[in-house]
Amino acid sequence: MVKLGVDASFWMDDRYEMRFLKLLEKAGFDSVWFGDHYLPWHHSFKHNFFVWPVMAAAAERTKKIKVGVDVTVPIGGRYHPALIAQAAGTLDNMYPGRFYLGVGTGEAMSEKRFMGRWPPWKERMERLVEALELIRRLWTSRDYFDFNGRYFTMPKTYLHLKPKRSIPIYFSAIGEKAAAYAGRYGDRLITANTLETCRDKIFPAFEKAAKEAGRDPKKIEKAVLVEGSIVDVERTIKRIKKIHAGATIMGNFDEEDPRKIEESGLSLTDEHVRKYYLLYENVDDLIGHLDRFRKIGAGHLIFTDFSPYPEKTIEIFRRRVIPYFKG
């Protein structure tokens, strides 16, 4: 059965009360996710919260819904991988079995300021793979050990607060090359792409690499971030152009100034936005599109809602979408 989640990053207000959490759990969602950025992707969206206390608060204010980060970047800029291992271990001890760890290679706007330089993609990927090796050893080693990697060196290191349960690592992949790395090194895949791109490029590259690594692709969960709205579409389009489209449609992952990212999004037409995002006023159309993701192998659908009314979105999912997928 497919899992249904929500990325609630763009539902935050300046009080951070997260009133939507109890509504999500009551509606029957499986997961809630939050992004991890130092600067927001777009200058006008000022709620660039530090994700780790937010996730702890989300788990404390609910009872069973899973809480995930999509995604953190343990490549030695903002975060050393040992700190991510410790943070994740702490959360899992506080809320056993309720934490998902998403990882990726990052964007310049959040990482370059900490690294002093912006490494090319290949180096960032190598750093991420090495970081996962260190994180997993810290989670499992029963004694002190020396870690001597290319990018990270830690003599006589040890983590006391090990996870009580296995924490699944969702490996982020936007392109085919990253999908192949995800198949080799991730516990699960997480991506944000169109149906066609997932079907024709991302999923095949992921499954091929997983199989070559001796893993059964059919047993590995593939999660897809599905971005859009089913409430007040015209107003949502304006909001998307201001706070999101400059990164996703324009591909400004190497741009370090959120103001420039926002400007590029504002230059887009409404038609550009409609082609990239799922913007439906008819719930049956949304259900049909989500179901097509399920049919091509997505096991976890995470809806990123950009409407200004999260309560309305949650209610539509409670009444129509969740019953369709879960009976």
Q: Mean pLDDT for each consecutive 10-residue tract of the chain (327 residues)?
A: 95 88 98 93 78 97 97 97 98 98 94 94 98 98 98 98 96 97 98 96 98 96 96 92 86 87 91 91 95 98 93 97 95
- Residue 23's pLDDT is 97
Cβ neighbours around 273 below 10 Å, total: 24
> Which structure tokens are listed for 171?
């490996």
DSSP H helices, the chain, are 20-27, 51-60, 81-94, 108-115, 121-140, 176-185, 195-197, 203-212, 233-243, 245-248, 258-266, 270-276, 283-295, 310-316, 322-326
pLDDT at residue 236, rounded to an integer: 93
The pLDDT value given to residue 308:
85
Q: Among candidates 259, 313, 308, which has minimal Cα distance to 283? A: 313
Residue 236 identity: T
CA distance 135 to 10: 29
pLDDT score at 250: 83
Task: Please tell me whether the overall predicted TM-score, pTM, comes out greater than 0.75 for this model.
Answer: yes
Strand 31-34 versus strand 66-72 pairing type: parallel
pLDDT, position 39: 86
- Tell me the catalytic residues: 37, 107
Query: What is residue 208's predicted lDDT score, i.e. its pLDDT?
Result: 98
Write down the pLDDT at residue 18.
Answer: 95
